[in-house]
Amino acid sequence: MTIRRKTEAGPEPTLPITPMLDMAFQLLAFFVMTYHPSDLEGQMELSLPSEAITQAQDKEDIKPDAPVDKDQDLKLAANITVIVRTQRDNINTGFISGISLQDDAGTTAVDTLDKLREELKSRRANVENKENIKIQADNKLKWEEVISVMDVCQQAGFKNISFVPPPSGS
């Protein structure tokens, strides 16, 4: 703003806006460039690993692959288990090498995640627990792959996902 005294002629005291604007533009450019409207972080609530398994694990020395006995297994609320395997050949280690579905009737192999989605959707109609599902992955499977399997389960309509300890020797 300019404050003018009408009586005296003299230098007008002005606020130097231009350099300030220059600097503001510089800063603006910096922040615009460093601003990544990238993927936001989200979270998912986890259904806890079932009680039956945890009890067996209370002593650390018991291996996570200890077989869960039948009676306890029946208490688990989920009917379907998705089993995800990986190879250990240094090249494909950590990536999915095989998917299968296990339920009371037995185990069926599925080729791809898309097939898994279809299969889960069709099976979901017939199971008692329409919300719960278990995932059992190999020890070495990458977390990224586990998340993608979780995605598929959720897309098929299973809201509560719980994890089963990795099998022995995986």
Footprint of another protein on this chain (CB under 8 A)? 1-2, 4, 12, 14, 17-18, 20-21, 24-25, 27-28, 31-32, 34-36, 38-46, 48-49, 54, 57-58, 64, 94, 112-114, 117, 137-148, 150-152, 154-155, 163, 165-166, 170
For residues 123 and 140, which CB has a smaller minimum distance to another protein in the complex?
140
Which of 44/91 has CB closer to another protein?
A: 44
CA distances from residue 15 to 23, 62, 77 in whole angstroms, order as listed: 15, 76, 72
Q: Provide, rounded to whole angstroms, the least separation between the CB of residue 82 and another protein.
A: 12
CA distances, 153 to each of 17, 85, 119, 135 (Å): 59, 16, 10, 9
**Minimum distance between the CB of residue 105 and another protein, rounded to whole angstroms?**
26
Residues 6+ apart with CB under 8 A from 131: 158, 159, 160
Give 89 or 104: the residue with its C-beta nearer to another protein: 89
Q: Which of 79, 94, 92 is nearest to 127 (CA)?
A: 79
